[in-house]
Amino acid sequence: MRDKEGKKDTLPFIFHVSDLKGYLALSKRKIKEINDTSRVYPLKVSYFYLNLIDKTNPECPIKRQCIPDIKELSHQGEVDPLIEDRHSITPSFIKKYPGRGVFLTGAQCAVYCRFCNRKRLTGRDHDIKASHKDTFAYLKKDASIQEVIVSGGDPMMLSPEELDHILSNLFSIDHIKTIRISSRVPLVYPEGITDGHINAIKKINPLWFIIHINHPREITDEFSEKIRMLRETGCILLGHTVLLRGVNDCPFILAHLFQGLVMLGIKPYYLFQLDEVRGVMHFKVQVQRGIEIMKTLRRNISGLAMPTYTIDITGGSGKVPVDYNYIKRGSGDKIYIEDFKGRTGIYLDNGKKSICNRCGVCNKKA
């Protein structure tokens, strides 16, 4: 049996609570709650990721990310808080920002993360692929598009041939200079990345590969091997992480994660504040806590391991960085700045006024 995305659903995945019983100790109440929740927000988890759950820990961060929770049925939050539907040029292309956009490859993932910001789409019967032809036609016409983020669903759930088709078509459009792939497959379903996928990626240079990873338990030997293979293609590896209550809202967990990524050759890129999506609000961390975590991280890890803490503003206004304010006050030319140990230093802000050298880069007339 094949779903509408064309991927055969067989043994690597669990879709029903009955299949969880051999892996997790579930009470009758919990079984009912998972059933009730998964009728609204489908259950899907790879056997690989399921086996990362610490069965001795009822608060296991892996379990929190992949097992349905009755709290998801809360009506708090918005179905589409980032207003992606309003910014959709086609069902498979979202353009919110000048010069770039998101290419949706499908609605299938290896794991349906319980905090997903596209919860309205993931696992549904959306035939997103039917609009790919229209998306390519639009991209060829809109010369302002210089960067495309290939997302979904998860693009690494495509067959190697499908992935190659999308990447090759994007790469053939002259005005598209940057291609990104966003994926969680390397850590939740590493066996799903085949030599065919690697060969498709190898053809595109440069290609930026963004790995969504939230906890150091997700850094496994199998994940590390896929990262080695991806690095050998020449692609540039970045990591993004969502700050999740009860999963990683701790500076020591995040330090372990970010340092582990750097050791594998992955630059931590974004730490995202949770999008205000309906069904995920129980994962929300207070922004002030996030700022405190960033302050602690800056004191304890190198700048190379530091991501940018970012909020994607509800209502579609876009991403903004959020961080601890180290500039405390000013007096004349003096700026008082707090260092990582809490001490105050002085910087003289006595530079001369900036001048325009009329280089023409901004396209403004002199």
Which pLDDT score, from 0 to 100, does residue 366 have?
Answer: 52
* pLDDT greater than 70 at residue 81: yes
For 14, the enclosing helix (H) or strand (E) is strand 13-14
Task: Report the pLDDT value the prediction gives residue 121, as an integer from 0 to 100.
Answer: 85
pLDDT at position 162 is 97
Query: Tokens 């293609």 identify what position?
Result: 233
Mean pLDDT of 10-29: 88
**Tally of residues, the chain:** 366
Contact by Cβ (8 Å): 8, 187: no
Distance CA 331, CA 323 (A): 23
27: which residues sit within 8 A by CB, 6+ positions away? none
Q: Which residues contact 76 (CB under 8 A, 6 or more apart)?
A: 278, 281
Q: Which pLDDT score is estimated for 327?
A: 87
- What is the tens place of the pLDDT at every residue in 192-206? 999 999 999 999 999
Question: What is the pLDDT confidence band of residue 124, given thresholds at 50, 70 and 90?
Answer: confident
Q: Rounded CA gap, 183 and 168, in Å?
A: 18
pLDDT at 62 over 50: yes
Cβ atoms of residues 93 and 108 within 8 Å: no
Radius of gyration over every alpha carbon of the chain, rounded to an integer in angstroms: 22
Query: Between 229 and 360, whose confidence is greater?
Result: 229
Please determine, for residue 2, whether its predicted confidence score (pLDDT) is greater than 60: no
Domain ranges in the chain are: 88-321
Neighbouring-strand partners of residue 336? 329, 346
CA proximity to 273, closest of 263, 286, 260 = 286
Q: Which of 270, 85, 65 is nearest to 187 (CA)?
A: 65
Q: Quick one: which of 141, 149, 171 has its CA closest to 100? A: 149
Residues 198, 285: Cα–Cα separation, whole Å: 36
Residue 292 has φ and ψ, to the nearest 5°, of -65, -40
Taking the C-alpha atoms of residue 163 and residue 113, their distance in angstroms, rounded to an integer, is 22
Residue whose token pair is 């001795």:
56
Sign of the Cα torsion 85, 87, 91, 93 reads negative
User: d(Cα 49, Cα 267) in Å, to the nearest integer?
Assistant: 23
> Residue 297's pLDDT is what?
97
What CATH class does 88-321 carry? alpha beta
Average predicted confidence (pLDDT) for the chain: 93
| Contacts with 64 (C-beta within 8 Å, 6 or more apart), sequence order | 114, 244, 246, 247
Q: For the segment 129-146, what is each residue's pLDDT rounded down to a tens digit? A: 899 999 999 999 999 999
Q: What is the largest CA-CA distance in the chain?
A: 74
* pLDDT over threshold 80, residue 319: yes
Give the residue among 212, 237, 4 at the shortest CA–CA distance from 118.
Answer: 212
- Residue for token pair 């200079």: 177
Under DSSP, the state recorded for 190 is G
Long-range CB pairs of 119-126, under 8 A, 24+ apart, other chains included = 119/41, 119/277, 119/278, 119/279, 119/280, 120/79, 120/80, 121/153, 122/42, 122/153, 123/41, 123/42, 123/44, 124/42, 125/3, 125/4, 126/4, 126/91
Q: Which pTM was predicted?
A: 0.91
User: Residue 11's pLDDT is what?
Assistant: 67
